[in-house]
């Protein structure tokens, strides 16, 4: 597993200022290529990223620079309550390109990534219970793609 890396924007800025309150708050993006174990047991090695939010003063005190390797890892956390009560739909888990919201017993699953300094931290995943709806949507997408290729 590769270590997390500090990212920068196109202008080279590590600290990205908040749109709502740029004089006080911001975030730093951290990325990592790591195995992600899905709730169905499948493993996928993929790039994941997380935002480390904080006050501008606290983010500056980290002294992180572009490309810096960090100890720790990026974890995936899923839960049945919104992470953000002001914008509850912000982190809803959606099944790929289908647009189908993943649910457990009718409740939407919320998914978010976090950078944590503990390399032994584990993902917290919730198995969705609407697999039939998701499969049907994927099948419909595949049939539509096949049909479009035949029309070309």
The two tokens of residue 33 are 């290529």
Within 10 angstroms of residue 93's Cβ, the number of other Cβ atoms is 19
10: left (phi over 0), alpha (psi -120 to 50) or beta: alpha
Report in angstroms the alpha-carbon separations of 21 from 12, 17, 95: 21, 8, 33
Domain coordinates in residue numbering, the chain = 1-70, 75-152
Strand partners, 47: 33
- Residue 151's Cα: distance from chain center in Å? 36
Residue-level pLDDT, tens digit, the chain, 152 residues: 799 999 999 999 999 999 999 999 999 999 999 988 776 778 889 999 999 999 999 999 999 999 999 999 999 999 999 999 999 999 999 988 888 899 999 999 999 999 999 999 999 999 888 888 888 888 888 887 777 777 66
How many CA atoms does the CB half-sphere of 146 hold within 13 Å? 6
User: What is the DSSP secondary structure assignment for residue 126, as one 8-state letter?
Assistant: -
Question: Given 3-state DSSP classes, what are the helix, strand and coil percentages for the chain, each rounded to the nearest 5?
Answer: 20, 35, 45
Please state, in angstroms and rounded to a whole number, the distance separating the CA atoms of residues 87 and 82.
8
**Could you give the 3-state DSSP secondary structure of residue 79?**
strand
Q: Where does the chain have alpha helices with state H?
A: 56-62, 131-151
The model carries a pTM of 0.83
- The dihedral sign for the CA sequence 94, 88, 4, 8: positive
């Amino acid at each position: 597993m590769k270590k997390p890396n500090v990212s920068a924007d196109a202008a080279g800025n590590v600290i990205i200022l908040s749109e709502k309150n740029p004089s006080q708050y911001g975030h730093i993006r951290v990325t990592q290529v790591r195995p992600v174990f899905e709730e169905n047991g499948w493993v996928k090695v993929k790039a994941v990223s997380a935002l480390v939010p904080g006050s501008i003063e606290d983010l500056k005190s980290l002294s992180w620079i572009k490309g810096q390797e960090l100890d720790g890892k990026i974890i995936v956390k899923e839960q049945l309550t919104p992470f953000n009560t002001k914008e509850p739909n912000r982190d809803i888990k959606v099944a790929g390109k289908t647009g189908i919201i993943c649910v457990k017993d009718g409740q939407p699953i919320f998914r978010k990534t976090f950078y944590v300094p503990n390399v032994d931290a584990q993902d917290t995943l919730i198995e969705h219970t609407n697999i039939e709806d998701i499969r049907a949507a994927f099948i419909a997408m595949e049939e539509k793609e096949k049909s479009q290729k035949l029309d070309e």
